[in-house]
Amino acid sequence: MKLAFLGLGKMGRSILKGALDRGFLRPEEVGVVGRTPERGQALAAPFGVRALSLQDLAEAERVLLAVQPRDFPQLAPEIPRAGVGFISIMAGVSTAVLARRLDTRRVVRAMPNLAAVIGESSTALTALREAQEAGDLDFARALFATVGDVYEIPEHLFDPFTAMSASAPAYLALVAEALADAGVKMGMPRALALRLAADALAATGELLKGRHPAQVKDEVASPGGTTIHGLHALEARALRAAFYEAVEAATRRGHELGEAE
């Protein structure tokens, strides 16, 4: 068994689907542990992979930890770890905490985001030296490449990465909702307003791949036009400061989660 999933929520399912769809893993090489045997069967069946018990994890080459961070301290002592490498997607749980609780230094820390559902995630990776030497980091890099782009970054940047990138779909969804609501206020039918907001965010994302944000802004904002007046209103409401505070607050919460371990 090349990879076992401990937990299989939305993110875990996205990663498993990407790995299977792109041929990185075959169903017979994968297992899933659920909260109960029945839950494990229900999670495994749609993918044609094995349902496992905690004890079965000893058969795996690597285990992907996809449980809630609050559940990890209780589960960790029950997880077999001899000869097993670990990849964690638990927010706020450092490699030092993983190594201590699992009693192994073969640990990789990863932070994907919701866009893994559509194969467009940005995933941060970091690993202890022993995990790099055992090939665990290479495996994780290839695994997460099946659901998007991968960035190897120093661990001290993980909380800011989580606050900015992993949390970004929620921030931008709020922007889209607010933009649509504003359109409705001006008389736009809601369904059309929501579609236009979604299209605008998607198109802007594509434009930003080849341009600096200021260039996109300047190309749209013509002298004395509608856009520059709208930008003035946003600046008056301190939109930039609101994003600064959001990323700072989320980063601080990431630190707090790590300290709790």
Render pLDDT for 13-44 as a digit per residue (tens, 0 to 9).
999 999 999 999 999 999 999 989 999 999 99
- Is 17 marked within a binding site? no
pLDDT band at residue 260 using 50, 70 and 90 as cut-offs: low
Strand-pairing partners, residue 62, are: 3, 85
- Is 66 marked within a binding site? yes
- Is 10 marked within a binding site? yes
Q: Across residues 115-133, what is the average pLDDT?
A: 96
User: Does position 147 have pLDDT exceeding 70, yes or no?
Assistant: yes
pLDDT band at residue 169 using 50, 70 and 90 as cut-offs: very high
- Is 48 marked within a binding site? no
- Is 9 marked within a binding site? yes
- Is 11 marked within a binding site? yes
What is the spatial distance between Cα 251 and Cα 231, in angstroms, rounded to a whole number? 27
Nearest to 179 by CA among 221, 220, 239: 239
- Is 2 marked within a binding site? no
Domains of the chain and any CATH numbers: 3-155 (3.40.50.720), 168-258 (1.10.3730.10)
User: Does position 60 have pLDDT exceeding 90, yes or no?
Assistant: yes
Contact, 88 vs 98, CB < 8 A?
yes
- Is 68 marked within a binding site? yes
What is the spatial distance between Cα 261 and Cα 245, in angstroms, rounded to a whole number? 25
